[in-house]
Amino acid sequence: MTLRRVLLPALAGVLLPLALVSTVSAAAKHTVSPGETLWFIALIYETSVDELAGSNGILNPDFIYPGQEIDVPGGGGPAAGNTAAGSYVVQAGDTLSGIASRHGVTTESLVSANAIGDADFIVEGQALSIPGTSAPVAAEVPKLLFPARPIDADTEAIIDEIAASEGIPAGLVKAIATVESGWSQWALSHAGAIGVMQVMPGTVAWLENDVFGYDFNEYESVYDNVRLGARYIRILMDATGWDYYDTAAAYYQGLSPTEAGVYYPDTEDYASMVLSVMNTYWP
């Protein structure tokens, strides 16, 4: 679930928790909303994960929690590496493809403009020329493969029961679980997402502390994992006006960018895939 600002509306007469509100401004602080990752915050402020982690004493960059205040080096504006229009100084943690995506150009054009021999090798402090472009170019992202329908009667029964208790479509929960993990409780992403629903540790902590008020065994229990994921889906559905596409997008990249109308290419692929899986297997 990893990419990651406006006040959220109150829907169906319910005020959403303040932890769901995230702000991007010239201020030096960013308040984390559920589903956001440090990578996403670094992206929108044009800084690096290492710089944010170092400035905030974050030992594990994969673990941040909703409501946490992140100090943004440089006051929250463009990173110091952005020296002038048409140029960029490489920061720790940067990749050439990431720089290209942020500036609306292709990786190939950066390679050509800077005579780079190996696109996988750039160094911190390296000055890059950013070629002009008449229109933003979408970043190239790998396409998701259409997953097979998982066959697990026990897990399906759990999803059906919990989805009904949350008052949300079981097909949407099943589709998200299919794309996320193939219904595998032992799936663990490089970012720390856990189990069938691939819930991020920070989101788990927020749900346990601020929503349910008690702890879950999300690592070992399919039932607990689905309960956490389904409640998060219900919160996102309420926040997006029960828009299935936006709910899937928010589950993947976080609610704040989705509410702001920001959809990254991989988010669009993910949300489209979730809806396709749902309509194919659980229409």
Give the least confident one: 13-17, 44-48, 137-141, 206-210.
13-17
Task: Give residue 2's pLDDT.
Answer: 38
Give yes or no for residue 231 having a pLDDT over 90.
yes
pLDDT top residue among 258 and 176: 176
Structure letter (DSSP) for residue 135? S
Task: Give residue 143's pLDDT.
Answer: 60
Cβ proximity of 5 and 256 under 8 Å = yes
Task: Give residue 85's pLDDT.
Answer: 40
**Torsion 78-247-93-122 (CA) sign:** negative
- Split at pLDDT 50, 70, 90, the class of 28 is low
Tokens (6 digits) for 3? 């990419």
- CB atoms closer than 10 angstroms to residue 147: 18
Burial class, 89, CB count within 10 angstroms (exposed 0-12 / middle 13-18 / buried 19+): middle
Average pLDDT rounded to a whole number, residues 136-155? 72
What's the N-to-C CA distance of the chain in angstroms?
A: 24
Question: Which of 99, 94, 91, 98 minimizes the C-alpha distance to 129?
Answer: 99
Question: Which of 253, 259, 262, 261 minimizes the C-alpha distance to 274?
Answer: 253
- CB atoms closer than 10 angstroms to residue 240: 21
Give the least confident one: 137-146, 219-228, 238-247, 261-270.
137-146
Average pLDDT rounded to a whole number, residues 32-49? 74
Give yes or no for residue 10 having a pLDDT over 60.
no
Cβ proximity of 191 and 35 under 8 Å = no
Q: 3-state class of 93 per DSSP?
A: coil
* pLDDT tens string 183-227: 999 888 767 788 999 998 889 999 999 999 999 999 999 999 999
- Split at pLDDT 50, 70, 90, the class of 112 is confident
* DSSP calls for 228-278: HHHHHHHHHHHHTTS-HHHHHHHHHH-HHHHHTT---HHHHHHHHHHHHHH
Give the least confident one: 56-70, 137-151, 230-244, 258-272.
137-151
Percent of the residues in the chain that have a pLDDT greater than 70, as a whole number: 75
pLDDT top residue among 65 and 187: 187
User: 22 Cβ partners below 8 Å, 6+ apart?
Assistant: 5, 30, 31, 32, 33, 36, 254, 255, 256
| All structural domains of the chain | 87-129 (3.10.350.10), 153-281 (1.10.530.10)
pLDDT top residue among 19 and 211: 211
